[in-house]
Structure formats: structure tokens, C-alpha cells
Structure 1
Amino acid sequence: MRKNKRRPTRTGKTNMFSGIVRCADCGEKLYYCTSKNFEARQDHFVCSTSRLKGKAVCSTHFIRAVVLEQGVLAHMRLTIACVANHEEQFRKAMGAKQKAEAKKELAAKRRQLTQAERQIEELDRLFKRIYEDNVGGKLSDSRFQMLSDDYEQEQEKLREKLLRLNEEISEQEEQSENIDRFISKVRKYLNLDELTPAVLNDMVKAVYVHAPDKSKGYREQQIDISYDLVGILPASLLNELQNRETA
């Protein structure tokens, strides 16, 4: 919450979405503006780029605060219900494998990592040996150069493999941990009826508001919610999980 400092408006009012809600096009934060007649339903957010630099730079991304809160709360409740009721399907869809499978993969990669480290150590010993043979006259300079080049190339390939394995292991561990942590958060809010600043900051990293679409004869506006630890959840995933509930 400290990261998202909320600057009060001229009326002294603040909003829990200040610092969290952003423009989906330019990525800048949306300003929180209060209505002149102090009517809360007219309080709104507007793109800071559009406000400061004009619509030619970024089109106006306007959304009323009450509509934003209702939309985010509805999406969070849907997400919580889908994840809580279909935990394993959610894990698989997010790329996290069952723990038993994940442990096997991690164990195999760690074995490869240990093997690569030992091979590098062995090459170091071989290099030291041929160097001593070269200095002692047992190995010609040309032969020494050829062998040392081979060893160096092999070591370089092994170092690249080590780097890749370390990255894969870290990514896999982090992914599994993040999904586990997100599911733990979901369990805290199974009966979420009201959106509070504490819940919002715990569950959500950012909310991206798109420009309104009026091509169908009415105002339609897309909002993307980036959840903490897992990011933006694809609509197709939530729809699939939701359909499982109604099936």
C-alpha cells in the first residue's frame, strides 16, 4: 500500500484505485477526479496523458469510480470461485504441473546441473595436466593449443548449459510457488462481498482501462486486471472453469 500513495483531490477525497488503475494504451496512471457537486457516483478516473497532452497523444480513457469498483469486484469474485472450485485445472492451465511431476522434472534438472559442474571440474584438471605436460616437454605447443581450445569450447558449452538449467530451475520453482501463493490468497477471500483497499492491494497489482467502444450503439469498455503473482488471467481460462461449474 505504501508503493501506491494516494494523492487527495482538491476536495480532500481519495480512492483505493489511485496508483493502481492505468491506461491500457499508454500505460500511464489514471487521475482520480471528484465531481464538482460532490456526488460520489460521478467521481471518475481519466488518463493522465490525455489530460496533460491532449487526445491526439492518447484518447480519453474515462471511467466512473463506482463502475470500476463494481467491475473489479465482480471479476475478483468470479476468479476466486473458479480457482477455488477447480484448483487442479487452474494449475494445469497456468502451466504449473502437479507437484509429483514438477518434483521429478526438478530432480532431473538438478542431476544434469551436478553432472555439468563435475564435467567442468574434470576439464579444469585435464587442462592443468596438459599444461604441465607442455611445460615439461611431454606435449608439443601445437598439440597443447589444439587440446586447450577443445577443452575451452567444451567448458563454454557446459557453462551455457549450467546457466540455462539454473534459469529453468528458478523459473519452474518460482512459477509453482507463485501459483501456490495465489491459491492461498484466494482461499482467504472465498466469501468476498465488499472490496476494500486491503483486499485490493493484496490481490491486484494493476488495473488497465481500455478506451470505450461505442461501435455497437452503446458504451462498452474493457478492463484488464493484473493479479499479484499470476498477472492477467485469460478470459478463455475463466470461461472454461466457469463452464465446468454450470455443466
Structure 2
Amino acid sequence: MLPEDNISGKLPGDWSIKLSCDYEQEQTQLKTIVETLGREVKQREQKKTNVGKFISAVKKYMDMTRLDATILREFMEQIGASDTYTTDEQQKRVKIRGIEILYNFIGALDFEEAREESQTAQNQNNARAGTA
């Protein structure tokens, strides 16, 4: 059904209006989707760039023998500490404090998750090497 159908009288007027409204709504939705996907692509590209910068900094200090303030500033954006708490009321002298480190370029890093991912990747590489 084309606009020409409406002009030639083949399409009732209310159908033409409905189809036109539907078309406009679809165009608006598609524009919104394109804008959202564009933002996501930019965010992912920025994350990729940031990870690359972090890896470059790590490689720069692979053979370091001493940690100093310059190195800390290059890697860490912020260090936060939680309030202290005890997990056992019987041992009130034992205090626990959570520490969160925000690294430059990548933010907080879950070391346990990274360790597990690394182990999984290593196991997969070993399995591939065994089948080759």
C-alpha cells in the first residue's frame, strides 16, 4: 500500500493516516535504537582503549623491584576503606575493614574473578595444545 494508492482512491483515508502514523513511530524508534547503539559502541571503544593503556602501564613495570609513589599514582585513581566491623562478637578485638582500589583506566578490579578467568583460559590453551 503506497501513498499513490491513497491518491488514486485505492486506499481508504483512515488506512493511509494509520500507516503514516505507524511509519513515523517506527522511524522514531529506529532513530532511538541507532543513537543508543552508537553510544554503546563509543563506550566499548573507550573501554578497549583504557584496557590497552592499563596493559601498557603493566608491561612498563613488569620487572620492577620496588613500589614507589610514582608507580602507585600511575596505576591507582583512588583507594577507599570501609568502616571496621567484627564478624564474631566473641572476638571483638578482631576487626575487618574492606578496601577498594580504583585503578586508572579500568576502575575496580575483581582479582578473584580475573584469576578464575585466567585459569580457565590457561586450561583451554592446555587442552588445545594436548589435542594438537
**Aligned with 1:227 (options 103, 106, 116):** 103
The 3-state SS of whatever aligns with 1:213 is coil
Match of 2:55 in 1: 183
Distance 1:143 1:218 in 2: 75
Q: 1:177 to 1:239 in 2, by over 3 A?
A: same
The 3-state SS of whatever aligns with 1:225 is strand
Instruction: Indicate the RMSD between aligned Cα atoms, in angstroms.
Output: 3.0
Match of 2:32 in 1: 160
The 3-state SS of whatever aligns with 1:211 is coil
Deviation at 1:207, TM superposition (A): 0.6
Q: Are residue 205 (structure 1) and residue 81 (structure 2) matched?
A: no
Residues 121-132 of structure 1 correspond to what in structure 2 (within 5 A)?
Answer: 130=3
Determine what percentage of the aligned residue pairs are the same residue: 27
Q: 1:133 to 1:222 in 2, by over 3 A?
A: same
Distance 2:8 2:30 in 1: 28
Aligned AA (2:84)? P
- Segments of structure 2 that go 5 or more residues without pairing to the other structure are 123-132
Match of 1:106 in 2: none
Deviation at 1:223, TM superposition (A): 1.4
Please, what TM-score do these two structures have when normalized by structure 1? 0.38
Match of 1:116 in 2: none
Distance 1:189 1:147 in 2: 63
**Aligned with 1:174 (options 42, 46, 71):** 46
Match of 2:21 in 1: 149
Which protein has greater RCO, CA pairs closer than 8 Å, 6+ apart?
1
Distance 1:237 1:144 in 2: 56
User: Stretches of 4+ moved more than 6 A in 1?
Assistant: none
Deviation at 1:133, TM superposition (A): 8.2
Residues 14-93 of structure 1 correspond to what in structure 2 (within 5 A)?
Answer: none
Deviation at 1:174, TM superposition (A): 1.9
The 3-state SS of whatever aligns with 2:67 is coil
Distance 1:138 1:158 in 2: 30
Deviation at 1:206, TM superposition (A): 1.0
Name the count of aligned residue pairs: 111
Q: 1:168 to 1:211 in 2, by over 3 A?
A: same
Distance 2:23 2:100 in 1: 52
Distance 2:75 2:68 in 1: 11
